[in-house]
């Protein structure tokens, strides 16, 4: 028993954490190896555990625990009055046992949401002994790893279709975008206390968006890249001061998180006419005319984030068309139909690319300029959350369960 415990501790120590939306770098990459190529409802399933309520926050893994959020229904007193309890959940990564189930906010009327969304879609962040959970306009909170709420903050705005974008950590700041139909701003909270450290309004006109910012380093200086309706803006993350912006005339309800590489920021412009841009982030002010390196008008995603692997950029549209582009030029290498509708963001792990569609089907590809399908794996459940990776395993959230696939 003692030897088994030691081996378990060694395994956990070697596991790479997946502490935020899209993993350690926020760009969908994992350094884990020994991951399964094939799985199903019965094959390679280490454990499967029920998840209460409804939520599409993606699983994050740190310190041997898997964290998510959910919204539970406590009762409906009328057609218009919808009560929801917003909760933080944690599961033991080794066994799947629920170890934290904490009420964070209680809402008398949670408001409307899109049919594919939930009141608990933003993904938590874990850092050390703190867990940060975000529910959009319904509130943001810090918890300790035992589930005790340390502080709570609510900054109201009208997100119309429910919650969306996740927060990002920068030094002692917790930063997130608030893009509603009424007001639009980016805000940084002191991660220790929840106090607002800076709050920068978006330029008008603005509208709703649901994207997650990305912190990048350009010429030795940090930038916070935050997509919004009609424009993407880069800020100084320590101060909220605007550095550069790029406009797109017809783009709102932005969801995909940007990625960065080869000196370019890759971003999706959103609804109604989706396009995809590669932007040079060295400029100042409005760089729409000078900073766009290339533009893609067909096959741009509305929901899944892009994935950059080496010199190739991988996209999947919401209707399941996958594309591989030369990241530096935008030149297409291949385009193939994967099948199904896609909301989850693809990941790169163990030398392979994984695309998860909304029906629980994961298509595994070999990266490269030639299309090479390695496997297609199916779980018989709805899947809109993105995959988490840690301990030689995939952590996949479905509409009712959390799965650990594979593992050492």
C-alpha 63: how far from chain center: 20
**pLDDT (0 to 100) of residue 9:** 40
**pLDDT (0 to 100) of residue 76:** 47
Q: Judge if the upstream peptide bond of residue 272 is cis by omega within 30 degrees of 0.
A: yes
Phi-psi region of 351 (alpha: psi -120 to 50; beta: other; left: phi over 0): left
**pLDDT (0 to 100) of residue 107:** 87
User: Can you name the CATH fold of 11-406?
Assistant: Methylamine Dehydrogenase; Chain H (2.130.10)
CB distance 335 to 312 below 8 Å: no
**pLDDT bracket for residue 10 (50, 70, 90):** very low
Task: Give residue-wise pLDDT tens across range 286-334.
Answer: 999 999 999 998 889 999 999 999 999 999 999 999 999 999 999 999 9
**pLDDT bracket for residue 408 (50, 70, 90):** low
Residue-averaged pLDDT of the chain = 93
**What is the model's pTM?**
0.94
HEC profile of 74-126: EEECCCCCEEEEEEEEEEECCCCCEEEEEEEEEECCCCCCCCCCCCCCCCCEE
Q: From residue 100, how far is each of 328, 365, 387 by CA, in Å?
A: 45, 36, 21
Task: Give residue-wise pLDDT tens across range 71-89.
Answer: 998 654 544 457 789 999 9
Q: Return the DSSP state at 307.
A: E
CB distance 235 to 200 below 8 Å: yes
Q: From residue 222, how far is each of 131, 217, 236, 254 by CA, in Å?
A: 24, 4, 7, 23
Task: Give residue-wise pLDDT tens across range 223-235.
Answer: 999 999 999 999 9
């Amino acid at each position: 028993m003692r030897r088994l415990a030691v081996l378990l501790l060694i395994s956990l120590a070697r596991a790479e954490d997946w502490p935020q939306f899209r993993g350690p770098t926020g760009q969908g990459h994992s350094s884990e190896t020994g991951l399964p190529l094939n799985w199903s409802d019965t094959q390679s399933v280490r454990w499967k555990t029920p998840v209460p309520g409804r939520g599409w926050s993606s699983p994050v893994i740190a310190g041997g625990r898997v964290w998510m959020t959910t919204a539970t229904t406590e009762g409906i007193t009328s057609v218009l009055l919808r009560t929801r309890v917003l909760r933080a959940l944690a599961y033991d990564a080794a066994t799947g046992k629920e170890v934290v189930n904490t009420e964070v906010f209680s809402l008398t009327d949670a408001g409307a949401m899109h049919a594919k969304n939930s009141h608990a879609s933003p993904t938590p962040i874990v850092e050390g002994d703190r867990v940060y959970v975000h529910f959009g306009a319904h509130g943001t909170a810090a918890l300790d790893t035992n589930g005790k709420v340390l502080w709570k903050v609510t900054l109201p705005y009208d997100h119309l279709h429910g919650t969306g974008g996740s927060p990002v950590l920068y030094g002692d700041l917790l930063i997130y975008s608030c893009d509603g139909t009424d007001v639009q701003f980016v805000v940084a909270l002191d991660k220790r206390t929840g106090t607002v450290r800076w709050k920068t309004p978006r330029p008008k006109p603005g509208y709703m968006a649901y994207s997650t910012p990305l912190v990048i380093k350009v010429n030795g200086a940090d930038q916070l890249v935050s997509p919004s309706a009609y424009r993407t803006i880069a800020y100084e993350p320590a101060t909220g001061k605007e550095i550069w912006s790029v406009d797109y005339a017809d783009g709102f309800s932005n969801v995909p998180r940007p990625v960065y590489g080869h000196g370019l920021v890759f971003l999706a412009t959103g609804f109604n006419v989706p396009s995809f841009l590669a932007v040079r982030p060295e400029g100042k002010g409005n760089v729409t005319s000078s900073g766009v390196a290339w533009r893609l008008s067909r096959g741009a995603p509305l929901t899944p984030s892009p994935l950059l692997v080496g010199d190739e950029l991988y996209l999947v549209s919401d209707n399941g068309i996958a594309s591989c582009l030369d990241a530096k030029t935008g030149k297409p290498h291949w385009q193939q139909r994967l099948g199904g509708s896609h909301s989850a963001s693809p990941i790169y792990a163990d030398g392979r690319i994984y695309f998860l569609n909304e029906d629980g089907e994961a298509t595994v590809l070999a990266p490269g300029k030639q299309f090479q399908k390695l496997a297609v794996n199916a779980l018989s459940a709805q899947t809109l959350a993105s995959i988490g990776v840690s301990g030689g395993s995939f952590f996949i959230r479905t509409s009712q369960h959390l799965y650990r696939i594979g593992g050492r």
